[in-house]
Structure 1
Amino acid sequence: MMILNASEVEWEEFSGASPLHFLDQSDPPLTPEAPPLSVWGVALCVSGTVIAAENAVVVTIILANPSLRAPVFLLLASLGLADLLAGVALILHFLFLFCVEPSDWSELLISGLLVTSLTASLCSLMGVALDRYLSLSYALTYGSGQSRRCAAVLLGLVWVGACIIGAGPALGWHCLDDPTSCSIARPLTRTYLSLLCGGFLVVVVVTLHLYAGICRVARRHAHAIATQRHFLPQHQSYASKHSGGRGFSRLAVILGVFVGCWMPFSLYGLLGDASSPPLYTYATLVPAAGSSLLNPLLYSLRNRDIRKVLVHSCCPHRPSQQAYQPTDV
Structure 2
Amino acid sequence: MLHLKSEIALCILPLSIQATYWNNLENSHHSGGCYEQLFVSPEVFVILGIVSLMENILVIAAISRNKNLHSPMYFFICSLAVADMLVSVSNGFETVVITLFNTTDKNTQHIIVNVDNILDSVICSSLLASICSLLSIAVDRYFTIFYALQYHNIITVRRAVVIISCIWTACSISGVLFIIYYDSAVVIICLISIIFTMLALMASLYVHMFMLARLHIKRIAVLPGTNSVRQVTNMKGAITLTILLGVFVACWSPFFLHLIFYVSCPRNPYCVCFMSHFNIYLILIMCNSVIDPLIYALRSQELRKTFKEMMCCYCMGGIWDFSSSY
TM bracket, shorter-chain basis: 0.5 to 0.7
Are 1:315 and 2:312 an aligned pair? yes
Q: Secondary structure at the match of 2:91?
A: helix
Q: Structure 1 residues 49-58 or 263-272, which shifts more?
A: 263-272
Deviation at 1:53, TM superposition (A): 1.2
> C-alpha separation between the residues in 1 aligned to 2:67 and 2:186?
44
> C-alpha separation between the residues in 2 aligned to 1:128 and 1:108?
30
Are 1:196 and 2:172 an aligned pair? no
Deviation at 1:80, TM superposition (A): 0.6
Deviation at 1:134, TM superposition (A): 1.0
Residues 6-41 of structure 1 deviation map (CA, whole Å, 9 limit, x = unaligned): xxxxxxxxxxxxxxxxxxxxxxxxxx7999xx7521
With over 3 angstroms needed to count, the CA separation of the structure-2 counterparts of 1:249 and 1:77, relative to structure 1, is closer
Say if 1:71 and 1:143, in contact at 8 Å, map to a contact too: no
Deviation at 1:214, TM superposition (A): 2.1
Which residue of the partner structure matches residue 176 of structure 2? Answer: 167
Deviation at 1:78, TM superposition (A): 0.3
Which residue of the partner structure matches residue 59 of structure 1? Answer: 60
Say if 1:86 and 1:114, in contact at 8 Å, map to a contact too: yes
Structure 2: unaligned runs, 5 residues or longer? 1-7, 13-38, 103-108, 224-234, 316-326
Q: Secondary structure at the match of 2:69?
A: coil
Say if 2:48 and 2:286, in contact at 8 Å, map to a contact too: no
Q: 2:165 aligns with which of 142, 145, 156?
A: 156
TM-score by length of 2: 0.67
Deviation at 1:248, TM superposition (A): 8.9
Q: 1:102-181 residue pairs with structure 2 within 5 A?
A: 103-144=112-153, 147-168=156-177, 172-175=180-183
> C-alpha separation between the residues in 2 aligned to 1:298 and 1:284?
21
The code of the aligned residue for 2:181 comes to: W
Are 1:216 and 2:224 an aligned pair? no
Structure 1: unaligned runs, 5 residues or longer? 1-31, 176-188, 229-244, 318-329
The code of the aligned residue for 2:133 comes to: S
With over 3 angstroms needed to count, the CA separation of the structure-2 counterparts of 1:301 and 1:166, relative to structure 1, is farther
Say if 1:70 and 1:148, in contact at 8 Å, map to a contact too: yes
The code of the aligned residue for 1:221 comes to: H
Q: Secondary structure at the match of 1:310?
A: helix
Say if 2:129 and 2:168, in contact at 8 Å, map to a contact too: yes
More helix by share: 2
> C-alpha separation between the residues in 1 aligned to 2:83 and 2:277?
25
Deviation at 1:122, TM superposition (A): 1.4
Residues 33-65 of structure 1 deviation map (CA, whole Å, 9 limit, x = unaligned): 999xx7521111111111111111111111233
Q: Which has the larger radius of gyration?
A: 1
Identical residues among aligned pairs (%): 26
Between the two structures, name the one with larger relative contact order (CA 8 Å, sep ≥ 6).
2
Residues 160-180 of structure 1 deviation map (CA, whole Å, 9 limit, x = unaligned): 11100111256x3244xxxxx
With over 3 angstroms needed to count, the CA separation of the structure-2 counterparts of 1:252 and 1:258, relative to structure 1, is same
TM-score by length of 1: 0.67
Residues 256-283 of structure 1 deviation map (CA, whole Å, 9 limit, x = unaligned): 4233233343344234345434424345
The code of the aligned residue for 1:48 comes to: G
Which residue of the partner structure matches residue 80 of structure 1? Answer: 81
Are 1:294 and 2:291 an aligned pair? yes
Deviation at 1:284, TM superposition (A): 4.2
> C-alpha separation between the residues in 2 aligned to 1:146 and 1:73?
12
